[in-house]
Chain A
């Protein structure tokens, strides 16, 4: 994560990438559905393309599930970052008050805030770690998606006169997968992976 951004801004960027991937996963699902219908329409020559399109829809659903899980974790991250923000503010206020008072209570209260900050730091790291696990699975899923998109293009070549329509569809698949991979890379960086 870039240190110049505030923690909440970092979480927002992360969520923007999640939204991008979820939108693409939805598009792939629609493309897949359309491709299955096309393959049915074109009959025997496009049967292989139809099978591959079914696989692409399964890929998009799995990807969407990973994004939902990461999105839920990012909500927890907003909570953790907000609490850290509040604790830091309280800590700074206690520190100010400490300079004007001799009571023991203020340093003790400040220590408690530091302890809570440590706990929250641990929660933050755990959340990132859980996100990285989902991202790793999503990445593998995507590599599989790349292979399927390539296979779709090969199958399109066997589809004779209907080939150009199917080639266009397979290129759209490949583009979607490339965009997802780029967004996954950004997410990986943002989660410290």
Chain B
């Protein structure tokens, strides 16, 4: 079963990562889900695919009552990101899902309707979590054409979707990056192929470098923290991706 691990806690403001499922079939890509709580309400980032819903739901219920999850943030439209939406809606029909306006009419193929899906405009938006602002930051073409990351200025944590993702071998399942040089080899192929635009990547690197990020939390692989965050941004800035 997936485990919920606390990343940040100050009063009621908390971040948990839901990660690593030893029982998951190898044919499914491993994903990290993040739960952000504030004053009794919670937001879930990229809740994952239909197949892993039981593991994610069980792990979430280890740390909070899942009824607190009133909002979902979908970085983009992929099935490993949001195809479990219909099941989350079965549990809480009032749930709202924030996603790029580009995908507003595509995602209802997974579940939900015009009331469920809240469009994020291209230049980003603030998402209110019971009085605490979270910032949806544009990351278009990295890799999806309508793509956002989520910045929490209080916790100094950036949920970075597919940016920072690494395809870790099954025997390397650490939650945090321990050896950057060793780790980044598992991220290189992924970024070269999936990130389509060098100019979008450069723009993202410039904006990310200005944020005081303590943890950079991708949807796949291990979390970068401390100096490894800037190491990663510099590495990505140098990397040639997509078509050029």
Contacts and interface: CB of A to CB of B under 8 A. Distances in A.
B197 interface: no
A12 B67 contact: yes
A12 B61 contact: yes
Contacts of B57: 8, 78, 82
B79 to A, nearest CB: 15
Contacts of A11: 61
A43 B48 CA distance: 58
B90 A75 contact: no
A41 interface: no
A77 to B, nearest CB: 9
By size class, the interface of chain A is 10 to 19
A6 B91 contact: yes
Chief secondary structure at chain B's binding surface: helix
B230 interface: no
Interface string B1-19: 1000000000000000000
A11 B62 CA distance: 12
B87 interface: yes
Nearest to A85: B90
A78 B90 contact: no
A79 B86 contact: no
A124 B159 CA distance: 37
Given A15-B61, A16-B65, A85-B90, A78 B54 contact: yes
Contacts of A85: 87, 90
Given A16-B65, A89-B86, A78 B91 contact: no
Given A16-B65, A75-B1, A82 B86 contact: no
Contacts of A82: 53-54, 57, 87
Contacts of B119: none
Contact of B50 (A19, A74, A78, A86): A86
B4 to A, nearest CB: 12
9 closest A-B pairs by beta carbon, nearest first, are A79-B54, A75-B58, A78-B54, A82-B54, A78-B58, A8-B91, A15-B61, A75-B1, A82-B53
